[in-house]
Structure 1
Amino acid sequence: MMIYVSPLSAIEDAIREVRPSHLVSLLDPETMIDTPEGIARERHLRLGVNDISEEIDTLVPPGAAHVAELIRFVQGWDQSSPLLVHCWAGISRSTAAAFITLCALNEEHPEEELARLVRARGSHAHPNKLMVRHADALLDRGGRMLAAVEALGPGRSCWEGELFSLPLRLEQR
């Protein structure tokens, strides 16, 4: 099964092309979208967070509760159809959510390998470190998730990412 990552501007085409059963939207509260046609409302997780890594007045940082909700949602995904994750640009929040999903559902794989997979499939990926830090603690990874993302360095510079896919299951090592 596949996880797809997209910017908001490509979400309608992505839904039509990949036919996901589950959708994760990570947008600031003011621009949060309604559940798109083709997705059941109960299969659409809407997390209203800004793409920031520290407290800034009037903005909503991704918190531990948001990341815990994401982890519960992806652990409840039946994996019979793809999961589609998006944020505004498809660069930071959505790539963090995809990495978190891979870690939550592939406990046997090293975090560095999963982070490198995200970057190999999406050269622009620059996962939100605050989201990853929360997931690292919630999944009891001892700092390995954050270290893996930090080791990647910045992704390819761009204003907006493009749709890319990640295999959910990787071969056992």
Structure 2
Amino acid sequence: MRLLITPACEAARICRQARPSHLLRLVSPDRADDATDLAADEILTLAMHDIVEPTSGLIAPDRTMIDALLDFGRAWRGERPLVVQCWAGVSRSTAAAFIITCEKRPDLPEQSLAAVLRRVAPHATPNRLMVTHADALLGRDGRMTAALRLIGRGADFTGFSCAELNLAGLER
């Protein structure tokens, strides 16, 4: 079960190489139609701004979006990769990867899953609002958001191609 996190500038190349069954696009509203060169059997585009609290004039991630993200992740069976992409591959996509990982691996503590995310993506600074919604929807009682506080802000972003989480290989 390979979950690949990538910035928008690398998404087409990663999709060509990995041949994912599922592609999750987390994009700014003005970029929602910008996927002509991306290929996967199933594609979900969620248009939201990368903000951590509701702001006038901007579209914040909401529970409906995170519910759709969770449904999309549940439909992914793992035979082929799932690619998650946002503009830089730092905030929205790493939040989505963490959310999907927590949903797929309820047997593992949230702190362990956050630590794995930090290891494979040192730059990851998952969007707190997205994770807060998922924490409530998954009934995690604040453990997901607490795990993100423990790993803190990611390293300064200098660009990257792809980070990979192997959900089947995660251990306690």
Note the residue ranges of structure 2 that are not aligned, 5 or more in a row.
none
Alignment-derived partner of residue 96 in structure 2: 97
The answer to whether structure 1 residue 108 and structure 2 residue 107 are counterparts is yes
Give the Cα–Cα distance (whole angstroms) in 1 for the partners of residues 38 and 115 of structure 2. 33
Alignment-derived partner of residue 70 in structure 2: 71
Deviation, structure 1 residue 160: 3.9
The answer to whether structure 1 residue 45 and structure 2 residue 49 are counterparts is no
Note the residue ranges of structure 1 that are not aligned, 5 or more in a row.
none
Deviation, structure 1 residue 92: 0.2
Equivalent residue of 2:168, what SS? Answer: coil
Alignment-derived partner of residue 81 in structure 1: 80
Greater displacement, 30-39 / 65-74: 30-39
Greater displacement, 160-169 / 99-108: 160-169
- The one-character-per-residue Cα deviations of 1:75-128 (angstroms, maximum 9, x if unpaired) are 011211000000000000000000001000001100000001001000000000
- Closer, same or farther in 2 for the Cα pair 1:139/1:16, shift >3 Å? same
Q: TM-score, normalised by structure 2?
A: 0.94
Which amino acid in the other structure matches residue 93 of structure 1?
R
Contact 1:27-1:87 within 8 A present in 2 as well: yes
Give the Cα–Cα distance (whole angstroms) in 2 for the partners of residues 92 and 155 of structure 1. 9
Q: TM-score, normalised by structure 1?
A: 0.94
**Percent of residue pairs bearing the same amino acid type:** 39
How well do the aligned residues superpose, as a CA RMSD in angstroms? Answer: 1.3
Equivalent residue of 2:80, what SS? Answer: coil
Give the Cα–Cα distance (whole angstroms) in 2 for the partners of residues 161 and 67 of structure 1. 25
Which amino acid in the other structure matches residue 62 of structure 2?
G
Which amino acid in the other structure matches residue 90 of structure 1?
G
